[in-house]
Structure 1
């Protein structure tokens, strides 16, 4: 870990996953780990820069932990990491990205780096990026017919198109670069 490194909290009920993620991230980041949702909510403080959050956990699942983080006022970037592929329910979730297990080292490191980058963006740009990531995830994992019948998905696409029309070229270029990494991770 380097001096002044960002802090990543890894939350997963599988100790082997927690330790693997710690090993992959510790050369660059200060890594904290917990193995359950209630402890995660107690552990997050102003020093945590990003949360890697398992979706399926006993006692309190990742969706509940994410809601709890937001209720506590933590606006920290959250990357959901789950064996469950994303569904249209992620559209309304206040998360920044989503990885499907099994995750390799490079995909995890890219997601953390992108998540940390988004933390420095304006709220509007961060929301645009999160929505672009959600769209790319859904398009990579769902059948087009399923998406066409989803009001939530159509609304997401409409919001992204409206933001692109009113947004800056710089924001669009940066988001395209970041979501390109997500496409690669989902397709591999």
Structure 2
């Protein structure tokens, strides 16, 4: 894969309190995605607040805010990306209650790391695509049934348009095949007689 454009790439955050581990994973991902590192749970949450992060690779045991606590906080904040635990902690029944999307035990090989990230990218792409289709369908139906004059001052309509645009841009960034977007946008929604 060639070098990635950071404005068009999958965005991954590696979170590990051991700098050399976080940096090693980031190095393994260079050229595969846009990758950032955070060396604490607090730093991870600040990064997620400031940027649209698609996938978080999260260490479980960290001083201060643990990976489990970061997961709980991400759930409270309604984080709309995917979380992969990458940790030396062997899983037990306690993981059944944790809201992560995948779990890898260290050490993790370069290809395994890239494979799990690509799997999570695909899942996220389809989640975003579903949300886009829903928002865009609402916009298209209202467009077909109302005049521009009625739509221009409606706050709910403006919010749906903004959401659809944001989701379309994110779906284009995450999808490997954009033809599904083109096919959806080609659906005609006829005006009904008034």
Q: In which range does the TM-score fall when normalised by the shorter chain?
A: 0.5 to 0.7
Q: Which residue of 2 aligns with 1:43?
A: 47
Residue of 68, 85, 94 corresponding to 1:89 = 94
The DSSP-based 3-state class of the residue aligned with 1:109 is: helix
The TM-score, its normalising length taken from structure 2, stands at 0.60
State which structure, 1 or 2, has the greater radius of gyration over its C-alpha atoms.
2
The Cα shift of 1:6 comes to 0.8
The Cα shift of 1:75 comes to 2.4
The TM-score, its normalising length taken from structure 1, stands at 0.62
Residue of 59, 65, 68 corresponding to 1:63 = 68
Q: Which residue of 1 aligns with 2:84?
A: 79
Q: Which residue of 1 aligns with 2:38?
A: 34
> Quick one: distance in 1 between partners of 2:22 and 2:125?
26
Q: Which runs of 4+ in 1 moved over 2 A?
A: 120-123
Gaps of 5+ in 1: 124-188
> Quick one: distance in 1 between partners of 2:99 and 2:9?
25
> Quick one: distance in 1 between partners of 2:124 and 2:93?
24
> Quick one: distance in 2 between partners of 1:34 and 1:99?
18
> Quick one: distance in 2 between partners of 1:68 and 1:37?
10
The Cα shift of 1:118 comes to 1.3
> Quick one: distance in 1 between partners of 2:71 and 2:120?
15
User: How many residue pairs are counted as aligned between the two chains?
Assistant: 124
Q: Which residue of 2 aligns with 1:98?
A: 103
> Quick one: distance in 1 between partners of 2:127 and 2:4?
27
Task: Please tell me the root mean square deviation across aligned C-alpha atoms, in Å.
Answer: 1.7
The Cα shift of 1:56 comes to 0.7
Q: Which residue of 1 aligns with 2:121?
A: 116
> Quick one: distance in 1 between partners of 2:36 and 2:76?
21
> Quick one: distance in 2 between partners of 1:92 and 1:114?
22
Q: Which residue of 1 aligns with 2:25?
A: 21
The Cα shift of 1:24 comes to 0.8
> Quick one: distance in 1 between partners of 2:127 and 2:20?
36
Partner deviation per Cα, 1:6-50 (whole Å, 9 max, x = no partner): 110000001111111111112111111010001111110452110
Gaps of 5+ in 2: 129-194
> Quick one: distance in 1 between partners of 2:90 and 2:31?
29
